[in-house]
Every structure is written in structure tokens, then in C-alpha cells.
A and B are shown apart, each in its own frame.
Chain A
Amino acid sequence: MERTISKQRLKEVYVWELPVRFYHWINALCIVVLAITGYIIGRPPAFQSATEASYGYWFGTVRFIHFVTAFVFFFNFVMRIYWGFVGNKYARWYNFIPLKKWQWKEIICVIKVDILQIKDRPVLGVGHNSLASLTYFFTFLAFVLQCFTGFGIYAAMSESWLPNLFSWIVPLLGGDFMARQIHHILMWFFILFGIVHVYLVFYHDYIERTGVTSSMIGGWKFVEGDDADMDGNERIRSCNQK
């Protein structure tokens, strides 16, 4: 029987709640803006010459956009952490940290099925699969580090309390140079993550057709009736079936 790949009894499941969707798109926009402005700050194009400094402020504006966006990014992230404790079961924090054995088994499953493609049974699940979750956990760590180093080097030119909460990170790293270095290297992590993330959304929509792309807009996914109710261990069993 072709149970795993035929889609006869589709069921709608409300996966991503409104705050999660808002978080996702605000976050995406912030990261795009931060990466572009950050790259310009790190390696500014010198397209102007033969003029006086008093005529322009474009580089200051780029930095201003970077800083404002950083504040939005930070509070958006704080909101998401809060939602990790009050949101639905797909949004909760325990999805993102593989503490259970089945999560590690699922990670292996996903690697075999989706990355190496040596196995043909799809990994059934409604929310994130365990490998995706773990990757998001790493991005959360990168968010934290990026906030720490970013606000840390920003603190010296600010009197406000929020950036100064992070000023201790600079002496810990030995100085602004290293903080800035780490901040810059992590930017590349976000760029690479972005590329792979968008590709994988395309990939999953192409193969599984659960409406993963539109789910981040409307919140709904379409899965087979039985799949929606499976727990982790049942999913592993189903994936490991011959």
C-alpha cells in the first residue's frame, strides 16, 4: 500500500500561530536588512570622492538603519523566546533542543531521507522535523551571540541601559576588535543559513506538498489524517519501515 506517499485523506492542521508568523517575517526582514547594512559597514563601497564631508551622511544613515533594526530584531527575538513557553506544541522550546532519544533518531532519519536521499520514505511530521529544530536552535544561539557582540560594541557610544547590559562581553573577549570579528563572522552564518533555508522550503514543498511555504503566511498545513496525530516514536517507526 502506498500509504506514505498517496494523499487521500488530507487534514488541515493549524501549525503556526499568528505571533510565530509575525516573528518569522519580522525576523527575516531584520536579518536581510542587518546583513546588507552590516556588510556595507564592514566593507563600505567608496563610490564618492572629490567632495566635502559636510555634503553627505549616507554611511551614517546605513549605520543608523543597522542599529535601529538591531533593536527590532532583539525585541522580536525576546518575544519568540516568551512564545516558546506559552505557544502551541509546535512552537514550544522543547522542540528545539534534542533531549529525547527519538529526536536524535529522527535527525538520522532526516539525514538519510532528505539530505543523502538514500531512503525513500518521507519523514512524517507536522511541525519542524528534529534536524530543522536543531538547526533553529543553533540560529537562536547565533542570535544570542550576535546580540551580545553587537550591543557590546555599540554600548561605548550609548547611554541607554539596554546596550549597556551587554558591555561586559567586550572585556571578556579581550577588546572591541575580537567582538567585532565574531560579529562579522556570524553575519556569514546568517547568509549561508538564509540560502539553505529558502532552498529547503522549496524542496519540501516540491516533494511533500504539505503547503509548507504558505503555512508561514496562513498558519495551516495539510497532512494525512493519521500523520497529524503521530507522536515522535511512531514517526521513527514509520520512517524505519521497509
Chain B
Amino acid sequence: MKKPTVYDEIKAAGYSRRDFMKFCGTMAAMLGLEASGVAQIARALETKSRIPVLWMHFQECTCCSESFIRSSHPIVADILLDKISLDYSETLMAAAGHQAEKSLRDTMEKYAGQYLLMVEGSIPLGNEGYCCIGGRSAEDILKEVAEGAKAIVAWGNCASAGCVQAADPNPTGATPIHKIIHGKPIISVQGCPPIAEVMAGVVVHLLTFERIPQLDALGRPKAFYSRRVHDTCYRRPNYDAGLFVQSFDDENAKRGYCLYKMGCRGPVTYNSCGVIKWNNGVSFPIQSGHPCIGCSEANFWDNGPFYKHLQSFPGFGIETTADDIGLGLGIATGVGIAAHAISTNIRKRRHINLGADNTNTENK
């Protein structure tokens, strides 16, 4: 029997052709494709069957899954995740125990070299006991599953950079996927969590073009992570005009001025929040009056405090920034110079007076 295509499954789930085309159009727009891209996506979904996907959960909070199933377009959650994609996912699969393990084994054997591995969560290298599934350590499972994967999608900050578990002092030795698996293409879909439409876009890209999307130097798909939140922020004109919020309850905050001085990480964070937004495009943190905390960047928990623009200087207490230290050193330098100048006038007396003596001699 011919394997059903993605479109077949979408139809079987009760979606109309119109719904399907709207989905293709949405995805093409998200991916930044030209108009012909819509047809490419539709054609791919009509002719290709689903890609087998293994979705592994390690040290995480499941917010990536939560984000994905709240995608604005029902087809994303319903088809891509629920019906199409998942051969194995601890959180969402019906099977449990031995059945689940069997499903995992079957996919790994039957589709060796073809399946996609999607990973949510970091791997504890400090002590394997921190994350064991079915009696095996996360590291073992990951290495085995990654072996036969065509490509790996690292969902969220945990899998891409370690997120909160890897924050100082990183008690579990939480390690991102790319530091453990080498020699496989890894797509980092950054964010805590990533935007649902971004996640769907990556899946659709893999399905449509059967190749890895263009990535930036940190492994993030350029279609979604090539611009700073700052550069796509609707409050940006306030920044250029020098209009800043000074405190969360001031008049400027009410006027919607730039949150730069409130520690907004928009200028150092690459993500699509300003464009795609969250929860069906309702809003995003800055629009809701809160500065960006930079969740799609590595070490964002340690780059704190969140409400200050500069990191606290290590070893000088939590509120001390480079500016405070610089000013302190500046004052110390001034004092040092004053002391040196006084010392010079005492200890170098001979040299200083010499000029005057010479002049006197010449005058005689």
C-alpha cells in the first residue's frame, strides 16, 4: 500500500483544501519565501509522506512542546505534531513503558539514516543520575538515537545552550546537544521557548526542501534569527529619538518609550518576536511593557541582572557594573596622579630647579 502523503493525512483529519492552502501560505510567509514558495510547500506536502520524527525530552520544562501545540494555526499542532511527526515523544505519545521503547527501537531500525531527531532539554554530564529514562542515562540515549538521525533539531535554549540548568554554578553539568554530538547537522531553534510558528516553520522547511535551512554562526535558522529584536521592535523610533523609560511606573512607560534603560536585551538578541509575536500574534514582551530578557541567546540567565544593561562585574557584588568600577579606577588614578605630582616636586627638585639656574648663569 502506498504510504499516505502529508496532504492525505491532513484531509483525513477533516481540513479543507482552503485550510491547507492557508497553512502553506502562512508557512511560506514565515519562512520568508517568495510567492512561488507557497506552491513549493503545497506540492511537497501533497507528494511526500511524513518524516519519521523522534522527539526526545531530557532536562527541560516542556515549554517548547507547550509552545508548539499552541501554534496559531491548527494544522501545525494537529497534523505536524499529533498525527504526522511523532514516532516517539515521552510527553505526548499514548504508548508507555515497553510499548514506547519498542516504538523507539522500531523507528530507529526501520528508518535508520532517515529520521529526524528533535531534542528538548540539555544533557547532565555532571552526574548521569540527574536524568535517566528507562534506566539509561540521557547521554547514552542521545548518542544512540543521534547515530542514525538524518538531522537534529535542538529545540529551545536548553538543547541549544543549556538554559537555566546550565546557569552558574550549573550543578548538573547541563550541556547543550552540539557539545556532545558531532558530525550531524544540528539546527538550533533558540528561545525559551521558541515561537511556535518558528518551530513549525523549521519543520515545514525540512519537509518541503529536504535540506537544512540556512543557519547563522550559532546554528540558528537565518529566516528567523538574522535580525535583532531591537531592529524589528515597534518601539525602535523612541530609541533613535532618545526617549527612554526610566522606571516601570513612570510617565514614559505609559507613553510606550524604549525600554533600553530598563535592561532590555533587544539590542543583543536575535529572534523574531517583533515580527511574528506570540500567542497568535497578540503581543510580545516589549509590547506588553517588559524588556526583552534575551532568551534566544546563550547564557542569558548569567548575563544578569535582567533589569540592568551591563552585566555585574564578577567579584564585585551583584549590583556593581563596569561603569562603577571604571569610575572608581578613574578616581583612584586621579589620586595616584596627585600623589605622584607632589612626590615629583619633592624628589625631582634638583631637575626642576636646574633650568632656573641655567637661565641665571646665562644672564650673568
Which A residues lie at the B interface, using CB under 8 A? 5-7, 42-51, 53-60, 62-63, 115, 117, 120, 122, 153, 156-157, 167-168, 170-171, 174-178, 180-181, 184-185, 187-188, 191-192, 195-196, 199, 203, 206-209
Contacts and interface: CB of A to CB of B under 8 A. Distances in A.
Contact of B347 (A43, A59, A120): A120
B269 interface: yes
Contact of A6 (B239, B300, B354): B354
Interface of chain B, helix or strand or loop or mixed? helix
A49 B352 contact: no
Interface size bracket, B side: 35 or more
A53 B237 contact: yes
B322 A203 contact: no
A168 B228 CA distance: 17
Contacts of B251: 49-50
Contacts of B337: 195-196, 199
Contacts of B99: none
A192 B350 contact: no
B351 A5 contact: yes
B362 to A, nearest CB: 11
Given A44-B261, A181-B310, A209-B355, A49 B243 contact: yes
Interface of B: 216-218, 226-228, 231, 237-244, 246, 251-252, 255, 257, 260-261, 265, 267-270, 294, 297-300, 303, 309-311, 322-323, 325-326, 329-330, 333-334, 337, 340-341, 343-344, 347-348, 350-352, 354-355, 358
A48 B300 CA distance: 31
21 contacts: A5-B354, A6-B358, A46-B246, A46-B261, A49-B252, A51-B243, A57-B241, A59-B241, A59-B242, A156-B227, A171-B217, A175-B218, A177-B297, A184-B323, A185-B326, A187-B326, A192-B330, A195-B337, A196-B333, A203-B344, A208-B351
A117 B343 contact: yes
Contacts of B343: 117
B344 A117 contact: yes
A48 B241 CA distance: 9
Interface of chain A, helix or strand or loop or mixed? helix
Given A177-B303, A181-B310, A117 B347 contact: yes
Contacts of B326: 185, 187-188, 191-192
A103 to B, nearest CB: 23
B26 to A, nearest CB: 27
B236 to A, nearest CB: 9
Contacts of A60: 239-241
A184 B310 contact: yes
Pairs of residues from A and B, 9 with the lowest C-beta to C-beta distance, nearest first: A188-B326, A59-B242, A60-B240, A176-B268, A53-B237, A56-B241, A171-B217, A46-B244, A53-B241
Given A44-B261, A57-B241, A192 B333 contact: yes
A59 B267 contact: no
B265 A120 contact: no
Given A59-B239, A181-B310, A206 B322 contact: no
Nearest to A2: B354
A175 B267 CA distance: 11
A31 B217 CA distance: 31
> Taking each of A53, A56, A206, which has the highest tally of chain B beta carbons within 10 Å of its own beta carbon?
A53
Contact of B351 (A55, A62, A122): A122
Nearest to B226: A156
A214 B255 CA distance: 54
B243 A48 contact: yes
Contacts of B351: 5, 122, 207-208
A56 B352 contact: no
Given A56-B243, A168-B217, A176 B269 contact: yes
Contacts of B239: 59-60
Nearest to B329: A192
A170 B347 contact: no
Contact of B352 (A7, A167, A191, A206): A206
